[in-house]
Each structure stands twice: as C-alpha cells, then as structure tokens.
C-alpha cells in the first residue's frame, strides 16, 4: 500500500499520467507492492520557486523530490537501493536537465502507524495469520 508523492519544477510540459504509470510500475516490480493499492500524487511547482543551495535553477533545468511510504521492514536494502536508482533515472528521463540535487526518499512507518480503509497494516497482518 505504497503512497508516492512527487513534487517537481520543470521548464517543459511533463506527461504526468505517464510518469505516474512509470513510478507505479517500478513500485510493483522492484518493491513487490500491489498495483491496485499504489497511490501516486504529483505536484508541479513553478521553476521560479525551486532553489538548490540557495540559488535558482539554471535556465532549462528541472528539480524534483519523490517521497514514498512503505511499511517498515517489508523490503530489503538492495530492493530499496534499486528502487531509488530506477526512480531517479525515470525522473531524469521525464524532466529535462534534472538537477543532481533531486531526491528519492523512502519513509517506512511502522505497521501499527498507518493503513488504508480504516485498518492498520498491523491489523491486516495479524488477521492474515492462522492462530
């Protein structure tokens, strides 16, 4: 049940539906998450409001921050590293001249601290166990 939030600034038009589909695919393929529970929110920001090191982006440059939430302990370090590499590459493909100070961050809340449809991931895990 991952949630991805992408904030970006780009001087060019971005095919956000295609980018959302790409990020969803990477989440499914590299992190083993369920496609039907993967949510992607994309927020375009003005280039004039994006700064790196206190300086505005150079002409024609883009910037991005992608945050993803996945349940703590459900993925290995290798899986997370592969996702970060692939997600950055996807952003670099979609956004012209992506500034290297563009980030992909995985947040891992504990299973008892988040959920969907009003039930925590911890509840779902316990409920799935044969006791």
Q: What is the pLDDT of residues 6-41, one digit of tens each?
A: 999 999 999 999 999 999 999 999 999 999 999 999
Does pTM surpass 0.85? yes
Of 8-22, 36-50, 62-76, 117-131, the range with the lowest mean pLDDT is 117-131
d(CA 127, CA 116): 15
60 pLDDT above the threshold of 70: yes
Instruction: Tell me how far apart the alpha carbons of residues 67 and 8 are, in angstroms, rounded to a whole number.
Output: 11
Give me the chain's average pLDDT, please.
96
Please answer whether residues 113 and 71 qualify as being in contact, where contact means their C-beta atoms are separated by less than 8 angstroms.
no
Average pLDDT estimate for 61-78: 97
131 has a pLDDT exceeding 70 = no
Percent share of the chain, pLDDT over 70: 99
Once rounded to an integer, what is the mean pLDDT over residues 39-64?
Answer: 97
Backbone torsions φ then ψ of 130, nearest 5 degrees:
-85, 115
Q: Would you state the pLDDT for residue 130?
A: 77
**SS3 track for 39-63:** EEEEEEECHHHCEECCEECCCCCEE
Domains annotated on the chain, with CATH: 3-128 (3.30.429.10)
Q: What are phi and psi of 39, to 5 degrees?
A: -110, 130
Residue with tokens 């600034």: 9
DSSP three-state, residue 82: helix
């Amino acid at each position: 049940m991952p949630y991805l939030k992408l904030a970006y600034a780009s001087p060019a038009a971005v095919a956000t539906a295609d980018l959302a589909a790409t990020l969803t695919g990477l989440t499914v393929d590299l992190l083993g998450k369920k496609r039907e529970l993967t949510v992607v929110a994309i927020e375009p920001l003005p280039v004039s409001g994006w700064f790196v090191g206190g300086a505005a982006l150079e002409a024609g440059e883009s910037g991005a921050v992608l945050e993803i939430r996945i349940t703590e302990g459900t993925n290995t370090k290798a899986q997370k590293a592969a996702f970060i590499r692939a997600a950055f590459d996807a952003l670099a493909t979609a956004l012209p001249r992506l500034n290297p100070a563009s980030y992909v961050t995985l947040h891992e809340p504990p299973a008892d601290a988040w959920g969907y449809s009003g039930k925590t991931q911890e509840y779902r895990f316990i409920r799935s166990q044969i006791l």
